[in-house]
Amino acid sequence: MLEKMTAINSHAPVANDDCPSREIALARWASNASPSAVQTMLKVASSPEVISFALGLPASELFPAADYCQAVKQVLLNDRHSLQYGPPPERLKAQVAELMKARGVSCDSAEVFLTAGAQQGMSLLAHLTLNPGASVLVDELTYPGFRQAIEPFEPQVLTVSTDLSTGIRTDEVEHLLKQGVRPAFIYVIPNGHNPLAVTMDLAARHHLADLARKFSVPIIEDDAYGFLYYDTDQLPCLKELAPEWVCYLGSFSKIMAPALRIGWVLAPPKLAAKLAIVKEAADINTGTLAQRALAVYLDRGVFSEHLTNLRGEYQKRRDAMFNAVMRHFPAGTRCAKPISGMFLWVRLSCPIDTGELLRVSLKTARVAFLPGDAFCGRKSGNQGCMRLNFSNCTIQQIEDGVDRLASVLRQALLMNLQGNYSG
Amino acid sequence: MLEKMTAINSHAPVANDDCPSREIALARWASNASPSAVQTMLKVASSPEVISFALGLPASELFPAADYCQAVKQVLLNDRHSLQYGPPPERLKAQVAELMKARGVSCDSAEVFLTAGAQQGMSLLAHLTLNPGASVLVDELTYPGFRQAIEPFEPQVLTVSTDLSTGIRTDEVEHLLKQGVRPAFIYVIPNGHNPLAVTMDLAARHHLADLARKFSVPIIEDDAYGFLYYDTDQLPCLKELAPEWVCYLGSFSKIMAPALRIGWVLAPPKLAAKLAIVKEAADINTGTLAQRALAVYLDRGVFSEHLTNLRGEYQKRRDAMFNAVMRHFPAGTRCAKPISGMFLWVRLSCPIDTGELLRVSLKTARVAFLPGDAFCGRKSGNQGCMRLNFSNCTIQQIEDGVDRLASVLRQALLMNLQGNYSG
């Protein structure tokens, strides 16, 4: 047994018997972690009386449930290994590579790494790139799940602002890089930005890709909404513009169904080689029944039509919501009609506390949304802002909900003028 | 823009322009990470000509595929939200709580946290408890996925030895704790130990639970094989003996099907509250189609019979393998007949390099197994040891495979005596 004792050295944490612990100790970051606004709203907004514009949910009634059911049946009854451990299905990787071609990105199926959704891709990349003391660079307002993914590594979060017409301020990114700052990566959502609803313009894409190359700084391109573009043709992916510096995150959650938990990463070779290792640590990295069934579904050749229908329907809902906001919301409200994604970003004419507004709206009008502050993790200059989702309500619900929300808002503005509302 | 510049402080990593990077930099731990023996073998052993005793695979032909297919169909065609984001299904949590009662653990469904398998539970708990500089305490030989789960946090790994009759050496654990060592947790596999095949005896369970309480040290109880016990009644879970200090990991992978990716964690309240946060960061923490379908399958009331059949069949395979090893392997080979799990742990009479033996066996006999060294991540005192899985082969394959392996072994021993084999 003495031999084992050599395993202990002076660095091993030792007891502090003056203060015996009465419960399991949490890691530092975990002690401070609290549930996200999204998780809280998932419960609140699931009540059938609530019209919810709160979450990034796709339309349940548009899921190809019957076709997918056929695919599951075919897999389960014909392949005795469909429920077994095994490598992720090659066929699905090849199909994803084909999908990427449609997005303008040329890649081989061997470069496709399957994940349990874009969030997992983000989390795995954070594991692979964040050393203690690292920094990351991100829009000031961004997807809260990104902050969650990096939180266990406690990086320094550097922020730049977002232009609501062109996307992330690449001039600010350049300024930081020229100062010598070297983040572990820059995280961006070029299409259907969450929550700002902006799509990066072509010039900004080229500028950012050039910066990545020039300063050797990696980019995580979160393209969860990339297949949901409206009015115009799609713009090139950053992955296409700077393949060696971009890790691309794709997802079937918004275009097929979230409960399948299937997404993918395209990463440069050195990183790609490590993805299987870190995913094995996270959840074994085995092919799932959902992946095998999705491959069979995609082979039926109906997905492209499904995508076209989805875009058409979401475009109608976007128009309905945009028009309703323009019609019902108080004068001075600013909102751009997004050309991709699932959200509107609404800026009210005065800095009313939209967190408080949400509480009142849920209580009196039964309408849910997410306040601007939910996207930066603190009270910021985003009072008076809200994110509205348009994909998960019918046009009738959108029109009713926006009307009801506008009434609450007018009431709130009146009270605000009277000094009863915290601004 | 100046306002944003305040985000930069002296701690931000800066460029070293003398040495511009030509590719994306990896985190320190990731640079050294290499694929696991298990992942490598998953490819090698999937060749149809190979008889594989290498991996912890359940029997494909015993998956209740048709019944599960019915359940998927019922869910997909009757519940329009079955493919949507949503909280993990309450019904499945209640069913897991019932299963835990059968394992002697009394818990409420609210205490059940659903994961994508036991590996994810392990990874989430590592995230929640490992501060920089932490240590963990574990058997010297253990499940390689555990080391992978903790690797990104670079903890110090303290090891104790395992008694092949009673399990983890709790006297060694006590010695360390008395010295003042305080690991973030102790990781144990009390049932069907992987790879040592031992089941902790009652006295060791009580001793370890007492130590956890006395020294305020948490235990992660990996019970992935807990429902697979043979010959005797099951022994109490550590979770039953010290509920406030034990995080229990359960899994449907070995008793239902791995490709569903469903497991669970039972954790004390303070930790349990954080699990949803860390899982949301990892993969959104939404209810999956597989979870919803499993709940419907379990409601059919056939699972208990399925489990009984599974235990019966695995018991036969264990007996066949144990008898074949006793019959064919060279004199002096030591192997105990395990009372739980999926493995035999075989110790040869001389310290032959079983890694080299594996290469020869694959080439000349087409039989795969895992060498002892695969379970400690280094050359150790485990030359001459091998792990054999008995759940994933028919009795005929087991008898043929052990016979063929024994021939390779006799040949190798002969060469070893002649000095041609590295010992």
Inter-chain residue contact A287 with B1, CB threshold 8 Å:
no
User: Which segment, A17-26, A78-87, A408-417, is predicted with the most confidence on average?
Assistant: A78-87
Cis peptide before A88, with omega less than 30 degrees from 0?
Answer: no
A5–B contact, CB cutoff 8 A: yes
* Contact (Cβ atoms closer than 8 angstroms) between residue A362 and residue A368: yes
* Both structure tokens of B96: 């897991």
| Average pLDDT, integer, range B344-354 | 93
Q: How far is CA A42 from CA A94, A195, B284, B417, in A?
A: 34, 17, 12, 67
Write down the number of H helices and E strands in chain B: 15, 15
pLDDT at B15 over 70: no
* pLDDT of A376 above 50: yes
Please return the burial class of A374, using the count of CB atoms within 10 Å of its CB with bins 0-12, 13-18 and 19+: buried
pLDDT in tens, A100-124: 999 999 999 999 999 999 999 999 9
A3 has pLDDT over 60: no
pLDDT score at A378 = 60
> Would the CB atoms of B76 and A83 count as touching at under 8 Å?
no
Mark yes or no for CB contact B25/A172 under 8 Å.
Answer: no
Using a 10 angstrom Cβ sphere, with 0-12 exposed, 13-18 middle and 19 or more buried, the burial of residue A363 is exposed
Residue B169: what residue type? R
Interface contact B72-A77, CB threshold 8 A: no
Q: Which of B85, B141, B148 should we substitute to test contact with A (largest number of A Cβ atoms within 10 Å)?
A: B85
Q: What is the pLDDT of residues B276-298, one digit of tens each?
A: 999 999 999 999 999 999 999 99
Residue B17 predicted with pLDDT over 90? no
* Cα end-to-end distance, chain A, whole Å: 66
What confidence score (pLDDT) does residue B13 get?
53
CA atoms of A22 and A19, how far apart (whole Å): 9
Asked if residue B42 has pLDDT above 60, the reply is yes
pLDDT score of A124: 97
Q: Which of B77, B180, B271 sits opposite A24 (nearest CB)?
A: B271
CATH 3.90.1150.10 for domain A32-62+305-416, yes or no, is yes
pLDDT tens-place string over residues B95-123: 999 999 999 999 999 999 999 999 999 99
Distance from the A264 Cα atom to the nearest Cα atom in chain B, whole angstroms: 12
pLDDT greater than 70 at residue A15: no
Opening angle at CA B255, ends B362 and B58, nearest 5: 10
Q: Cβ of A284 and B258 within 8 Å?
A: yes
| CB-neighbour burial class of residue B315 (10 A; exposed 0-12, middle 13-18, buried 19+) | middle
> What pLDDT does B10 receive?
40
Chain B touched by A79 (CB under 8 Å)? no
B280 contact A CB<8A: yes
Collapse the DSSP code of B48 into the 3-class scheme (helix H, G, I; strand E, B; otherwise coil) and give the result.
coil
Q: B306 in contact with A at a CB cutoff of 8 Å? A: no
pLDDT for the residue numbered A290: 98
Nearest chain A CA: its distance from B135 CA (Å): 6
pLDDT of residue B7: 38
Which of B214, B238, B127 lies closest to A15 in space, CA to CA?
B214
The two tokens of residue A62 are 């548009």
Confirm or reject contact between B1 and chain A (CB < 8 A): yes
The total of other beta-carbon atoms located within 10 Å of residue B47's CB is: 11
Q: Does residue A361 surpass a pLDDT of 90?
A: yes
The sign one gets for the Cα dihedral A157, A161, A164, A165 is negative
Work out the minimum CA distance from A385 to partner chain B, whole angstroms.
20
Distance from C-alpha of A375 to C-alpha of B154, rounded to nearest angstrom: 31
Q: Give yes or no for residue A41 having a pLDDT over 70.
A: yes
Verify whether the Cβ–Cβ distance B278 to A30 is below 8 Å: yes
Biggest CA pair distance of chain B? 79
Residue of B nearest to A217 (CA): B24
Q: What residues of A are in contact with residue B283 (Cβ under 8 Å)?
A: 116-117, 119-120, 123, 261, 283
Residue B5: its pLDDT value, please? 34
- Asked if the Cβ–Cβ distance from A25 to B284 is below 8 Å, we say no
- State yes or no: pLDDT of B203 exceeds 60: yes
Decide: B164 and B345 in contact? Cβ < 8 Å.
Answer: yes
B16 pLDDT above the threshold of 70: no
* Cβ pair A39:B179 closer than 8 A: no
Q: Would you state the pLDDT for residue A65?
A: 97
User: Residue A284, Cα to own-chain centre: how many angstroms?
Assistant: 23
Could you tell me if A306 lies within 8 Å of chain B, comparing CB atoms? no
Render pLDDT for A234-273 as a digit per residue (tens, 0 to 9).
Answer: 899 999 999 999 999 999 999 999 999 999 999 998 888 8
User: Is B354 within 8 Å of B329 (Cβ atoms)?
Assistant: no
Distance CA B332, CA B315 (A): 24
Q: Class assignment of domain A88-285?
A: alpha beta
Partner residue opposite A180 with nearest CB, options B1, B14, B73: B14
pLDDT value of position B45: 72
Amino acid at residue number B291: Q
Chain A hits for B246, Cβ within 8 Å: none
The answer to whether B278 contacts A21, with C-beta atoms less than 8 Å apart, is no
Tell me how far apart the alpha carbons of residues B368 and B48 are, in angstroms, rounded to a whole number.
12
Q: What is the DSSP string of B183-251?
A: -SEEEE--SS-TTT-----HHHHHHHHHHHHHHT--EEEE-TTTT-B-SSPPPPPHHHHSTTTEEEEEE
State residue A419's pLDDT score. Answer: 60
Residue indicated by tokens 């090893």: B325
* A192 secondary structure, DSSP code: S
Q: Is pLDDT above 60 for A343?
A: yes
Chain A, residues 207-236, CB within 8 A of chain B, namely 215-216, 218
- Is any Cβ of chain B less than 8 angstroms from the Cβ of A350? no
C-beta atoms surrounding B347 within 10 Å: 16
Contacts of A112 (CB under 8 A, 6+ apart): A93, A94, A96, A97, A100, A264, A265, A266
Average pLDDT value for residue range B394-420: 89
Q: Assess contact for A276 and A124: CB atoms under 8 A.
A: no
Taking the Cβ of residue B359 and every Cβ of chain A, the question of whether any pair is shorter than 8 Å is answered with no
Is residue B8 pLDDT above 80, yes or no? no
The answer to whether residue B14 scores a pLDDT higher than 60 is no
- Interchain CB contact of A66 with B (< 8 Å): yes
Cis amide leading into B190 (omega within 30):
no
Instruction: Return the minimum-mean-pLDDT range out of A182-186, B315-319, B320-324, B408-412.
Output: B408-412
Write out pLDDT tens, residues A200-213: 999 999 999 999 99
Percent of chain B scored above 90 by pLDDT? 80
Element (H, E) at B173: helix B170-178
Looking at CA atoms only, how far is residue A303 from chain B in angstroms? 16
**Residue B420: pLDDT above 60?**
no
DSSP secondary structure of A103-171: TT----GGGEEEESSHHHHHHHHHHHH--TT-EEEEESS--HHHHHHHGGG--EEEEE-EETTTEE-HH
B149 touching A (Cβ < 8 Å): yes
Q: pLDDT tens digits for B64-76?
A: 999 999 999 999 9
State mean pLDDT over A271-289.
94
Cross-chain residue pair B87–A1, CB shorter than 8 Å: no
B288 burial level (CB within 10 Å; 0-12, 13-18, 19+): buried
pTM (two decimals): 0.94
Most confident of A84-93, A411-420, B19-28: A84-93
Interchain CB distance below 8 Å, A42 and B86: yes
Average confidence score pLDDT of chain B: 91
Q: Which residues are bridge partners to B136 per DSSP?
A: B157, B185
Across the A:B interface, residue pairs with CB atoms under 8 Å apart total 362
Cβ atoms of residues A220 and A118 within 8 Å? no
A69/B72 Cβ within 8 A: yes
**pLDDT tens for residues A131-186?**
989 999 999 999 999 999 999 999 999 999 999 999 999 999 999 999 999 999 99
Mean pLDDT score of chain A: 91
A156 touches chain B (CB under 8 A): yes
Q: Residue B68: which of A43, A76, A81 has the nearest Cβ?
A: A76
Cα torsion through A288, A293, A297, A303, rounded to 10: -30
The topology (CATH level 3) of B32-62+305-417 is Aspartate Aminotransferase, domain 1 (3.90.1150)
pLDDT over 60 (residue A417): yes
Task: Name residues whose C-beta falls within 8 Å of residue A49's C-beta, 6 or more positions apart in sequence.
Answer: A366
pLDDT digits (tens, 9 = 90+) for A287-325: 999 999 999 999 999 999 999 999 999 999 999 999 999
Backbone phi, psi, residue B377, to 5°: 70, 15
Cβ <8 Å between A116 and B283: yes
* Cβ separation B277–A35 shorter than 8 A: yes
Residue B19 has pLDDT above 50, yes or no: yes
What ranges in B103-169 are assigned the alpha helix state H? 118-129, 144-150
CA distance A344 to A319: 10
Residue type, B215: F
Domain ranges within chain B, ordered by starting residue: 32-62+305-417, 88-285
**pLDDT in the model for residue A420:** 53
Total count of residues recorded for chain B = 423
Confidence (pLDDT) at B3: 34
Residue B271 makes CB contacts below 8 A (sequence gap 6+) with: A24, A26, B125, B128, B129, B247
**Minimal Cβ distance to B133: which of A1, A11, A284:** A11
Instruction: Count CA within 13 A, CB hemisphere, residue A300.
Output: 17
Scanning the structure block, which residue is given the tokens 């977002």? A162
CB spacing of A284 vs B261 below 8 angstroms: yes
A110 at interface of B, judged by CB pairs closer than 8 A: no
Asked if A278's CB is within 8 angstroms of B30's CB, the reply is: yes
Model confidence band, residue B419 (pLDDT cutoffs 50, 70, 90):
low
Cβ-Cβ contacts under 8 Å for B363 (sequence gap 6 or more): none
